[in-house]
Structure 1
Amino acid sequence: MQLPFGDGSVDICYSSNVLEHVSEPWRMADEMVRVTRPGGITFISYTVWFGPWGGHETAPWHYLGGDRARRRYFRRHGHEPKNKFGESLYPVTVRAGLDWARTQTGAEVLDVIPRYNPRAARWLTRVPLVREVVTWNLVVVLRRR
């Protein structure tokens, strides 16, 4: 997965609710940082798998497993969900986002916050397990070095 832009070619690289739809989300995030110019901003926001809408239209049944939720959706609606677990929907977690952000050598992490109610809920990103359920959507903002 490579973005069709040269290194440092954009001022702002923005992704909203895409990361959970690619099979290699952190490779995509690395690419976003790569194409951002030094001093530029990379903004990544994604739906957290264990949040209430992590399974998208299969929620809340994704809590019992993505494949199981997909099968249940098919039985109930007579067709596959638009977002198919393992094909176009992947389980991306808060922890994975925090781990990825910590490893960034080419960018400074400016903020990691819940997208919804960021001021009130910011502290929740520091509470393991709880953050996975109550952070519906995580935002990671970086400045390219």
Structure 2
Amino acid sequence: MGPGTRLRDPSLRRSLALLRAFRREQDDPEACYSLLARDAADQVEAYDGPVRGRTVVDVGGGGGYFTREFRRRGADGFLFEPDPRELGPEPPEGSVVADGYLLPLADGVADVCFSSNVLEHVADPGTFLSELVRVTRPGGLIYVSFTNWLSPWGGHEWAPWHYLGAERARARYRRRTGRPAKHTLGENLFAVHIGATLRQVRARDDVLVVSARSRYWPFLAQAVTRAPGLREFATWNLLLILRRCP
């Protein structure tokens, strides 16, 4: 499919399946993230055609579910993850411990640069995005999704109580579970907003914004991102499909 292809709104059945998987994430991460990986790979191929025989760079892909799925579909998939603990005891083939701010790659080597739910975990989203663009070839696809702060899921494991304040939400999580929260605002979780991010990417002269849409909504997935204010709550998770300019 060409650069102008638009992804149709997915089905309600698909959205419900993902929601059920997310709710079981803690108990069955394998099923949750394997389903999410298949779904994300389908989205990439809807915009850019089959990944078979192409180089796909997965930045911040944690346990490697996305990289495995891209490789299963015939891509040369490579995972760059800064935290060795996230890779687990058996990281997928093509895994490299590396910082997303400074990838050990030459310019323009990737046909597809992929980043799922990472942007909210970096202190400098602009620099991170610039590195994704740098390693993507002219005409190549950049897939970026993130959970924005004002989404009902913005506080991650302590959502939706983040609406009452991060520290209060983290304290509640500890009281309820008996263990400290994984994420701390300002350390490994940051308040990223949709409006500011859209303005930032649209101001760049090295990428074309092909699509900005809710990643999971089954209807009005693009329309919701055009409504200032409302989009910060209703989008849930923003998916950006970018095309590297020549």
Say yes or no: does 1:136 pair with 2:236: yes
Cα offset for 1:50?
0.5
Greater displacement, 98-107 / 41-50: 98-107
2:80 is matched with none
Structure 2 residue corresponding to 1:126, chosen from 198, 216, 226: 226
2:206 is matched with 106
Please list, as runs of the form range in 1=range in 2, the aligned pairs for 1:1-145 lying within 5 A after superposition.
Answer: 1-117=101-217, 119-145=219-245
Q: Is the 8 A contact 2:122 2:190 kept in 1?
A: yes
Determine the C-alpha separation between the residues in 1 that align with 2:218 and 2:209: 16
Cα offset for 1:136?
0.5
Equivalences, count = 145
Superimposed CA distance per residue, residues 96-141 of structure 1 (whole angstroms, 9 cap, x where no aligned partner): 2211211211111111111012652311111111100011000111
Unaligned runs of 5+ in 2: 1-100
Greater displacement, 24-33 / 71-80: 71-80
Greater displacement, 76-85 / 101-110: 76-85
Equivalent residue letter for 2:105:
F
Task: Give TM-score scaled by structure 2 length.
Answer: 0.56
SS of 2:222's equivalent? helix
Determine the C-alpha separation between the residues in 2 that align with 1:90 and 1:39: 30
Determine the C-alpha separation between the residues in 2 that align with 1:86 and 1:72: 18
Q: Which structure: larger Rg? A: 2
Q: Is the 8 A contact 2:217 2:235 kept in 1?
A: no
Determine the C-alpha separation between the residues in 1 that align with 2:125 and 2:167: 19
Identity value in percent: 50
Q: Is the 8 A contact 1:70 1:85 kept in 2?
A: no
Equivalent residue letter for 1:78:
G
SS of 1:13's equivalent? strand
Equivalent residue letter for 1:77:
T
Cα offset for 1:12?
0.6
Superimposed CA distance per residue, residues 28-83 of structure 1 (whole angstroms, 9 cap, x where no aligned partner): 11110111010101110011110110101111111122233223322333322112
SS of 2:171's equivalent? helix
Unaligned runs of 5+ in 1: none
